[in-house]
Amino acid sequence: MSARPSTGNASVPTGHVPAPVGRAQSPAGHAQPPAGHAQPPVRDTPARPDPVIRLDQVQVRVGPHALLQVEGLTIAPGERVAVVGPNGAGKSTLLRLLSGAVATRQGSVRVLGREIGPQARVPLTRVQWRALRAELGLVMQGLHLVPRLTARENVLIGGLARLRGLDAWRGWVRWHRPEVRAQADAALDALGLSARAGTRADRLSGGERQKVGVARLRLQQPRLILADEPTSALDPHAVRQVCAVLRDTAGAGTLVSVLHQREVLPQLATRVIGMAGGRIVWDLPIDAVDDARLDGLYRLSGACRAEATATSHVPDPVGARPANAARPIVHPSKESHP
């Protein structure tokens, strides 16, 4: 029997379709795009930056009374946020919680990527706390100025967190490089305090001390600024100066302010959080916040106070102001009198 002549073609497995001529074939048998045709680039979805502030199921209590109850709050890098509400709404408590001055009974508090407070799964070490505070700028109602130091020396304290090595030692003994002293003088000049740079802090007026606290941030250069009523003791011209310095100092960082003047909100915030009774009532862009919404916030606060008084069974002192007679933050001409 003679052998069948060969056709010259190798055997092809059943069900396999050869690639067309001119098309390359991958080892897995998939046809590749022809030469000269580039594949579309694979675009990686940019990762969203971690929030600067994140609160989850947070509660701050003093005895049986809840000062602050926040189910959730997230603030992204670069945001300008104002917190508004009447006295006792929990605004200052919120800022003190974020600064680590107040501890939470429950929930999670994350600031600049670090979980803080007694509920933290991994408590911060002393070095980590120091690093966090270097990135956290504070303008609190107490101001925390050193009374016996001059305005310039108090401003220079803001730069201590950025000093390293021999410069850090020199800073603690109040010896600063000429360029650092020039930065301090420029910060004071921006707030109209050049003539008071050499005056002790305890001889400054309340408004001047407030300006010194703001100027100190210029040398610290923090990533997050927490400002509790930074314009409360200032005249209109000084308010504009302080707002300009706060905006410039915050730069690409984040600014959270407690405010009591409606006209200041657009200067320092693009987002407004309304609080009453220790809770966040609404969280809106600045364009959605009008006088009617703010008035409603104060009426709600009066109801919260009345409910708290009834629950605590503590009689009102004789001659006390009604709970709904809180001072409005935006209508001095419309404020109610008892």
The pLDDT tens digits of the residues spanning 95-110 come to 999 999 888 888 999 9
Q: What are the beta bridge partners of residue 252?
A: none
- Tell me the C-alpha distance between 188 and 199, whole Å: 12
Residue with tokens 């990527």: 113
User: What are the tokens at 149?
Assistant: 């130091």
Contact 106, 98 (CB under 8 A): no
Q: Is the pLDDT of residue 309 over 80?
A: no
- Tell me the C-alpha distance between 151 and 200, whole Å: 6
Question: Within 10 A of 79 (CB to CB), how many other CB atoms are there?
Answer: 18
Q: DSSP code of 121?
A: S
Given pLDDT bands bounded at 50, 70 and 90, which one contains residue 112? very high
pTM reported for the whole predicted model: 0.74
Residue with tokens 């109040």: 174
Mean pLDDT over 301-328 rounds to: 43
Higher pLDDT, 337 or 204: 204
Q: Give me the amino acid identity at 117.
A: G
Mean pLDDT over 320-325 rounds to: 36
Q: Give 189-222 pLDDT, tens digit per residue.
A: 999 999 999 999 999 998 899 999 999 999 999 9
Give me the helix-helix angle, 236-250 and 206-220, nearest 10°. Answer: 10
